[in-house]
Amino acid sequence: MARPTVLIADDDAVSMYLLRHCLTTAGFDVLCAHDGREALRLMGQDNPALVILDVMMPVMDGLELLRHAKANPDLAAIPVMIVTSREQDSDILEALKLGAAGYLVKPFMPTELLAQVARIIVEQRRAA
C-alpha cells in the first residue's frame, strides 16, 4: 500500500520543519506550501490524503483556503486539519463549521498530532 501524502501549509519555517519531521518519521510522504494559494494549487495537483493548515499565512490564510477547498467539488473530499497557535473557542468553532476535520493548537505533542492525523485518514478511507 502506498504511503499517504500529507500537504502542510505553514509560513513559519520552524513549524514546517517540526511538522514535516514528525510526519516523515511516522511514515508519511510530505508536501510543503508556504501560503494558502500555493497549498490550494498543490491540493488540486497532488490530491493529498490530508492537508494540515496554519490559520495565519500570507497571500491566502488557512480559513480562506478551507473555504475555497470545501466549495470546490474536486477538492471538497480532501480532509483538512488546522494546526495553529489560535486557541480561542471562536476560532476553533469557525474552522469546524467550515469543514475542518481536526484542530490542534501549537505547541502540541507529536503523539497528539499523529493520533489526529491517523484518525482523519482512517475516517477518510472508510468514507471512500
| Domain, as residue range, for 50 | 5-127
Tell the residue number behind the cell numbers 476560532, with chain if given: 91
- Tell which residue, 51, 7, 47, 56, has the closest CA to residue 30: 7
Looking at residue 39, which CATH number applies to its domain?
A: 3.40.50.2300
pLDDT, position 21? 97
Mean pLDDT of 7-16: 96
pLDDT, position 30? 98
Q: Is the dihedral of CA 24, 64, 124, 103 positive or negative?
A: positive
Q: Is the peptide bond before 4 cis (omega within 30 degrees of 0)?
A: no
Cell of 37: 494559494
Q: State how many domains the chain has.
A: 1
Per-residue pLDDT tens digits for 44-96: 999 999 999 999 999 899 999 999 999 999 999 999 999 999 999 999 999 99
Per-residue pLDDT tens digits for 83-127: 999 999 999 999 999 999 999 999 999 999 999 999 999 998 888
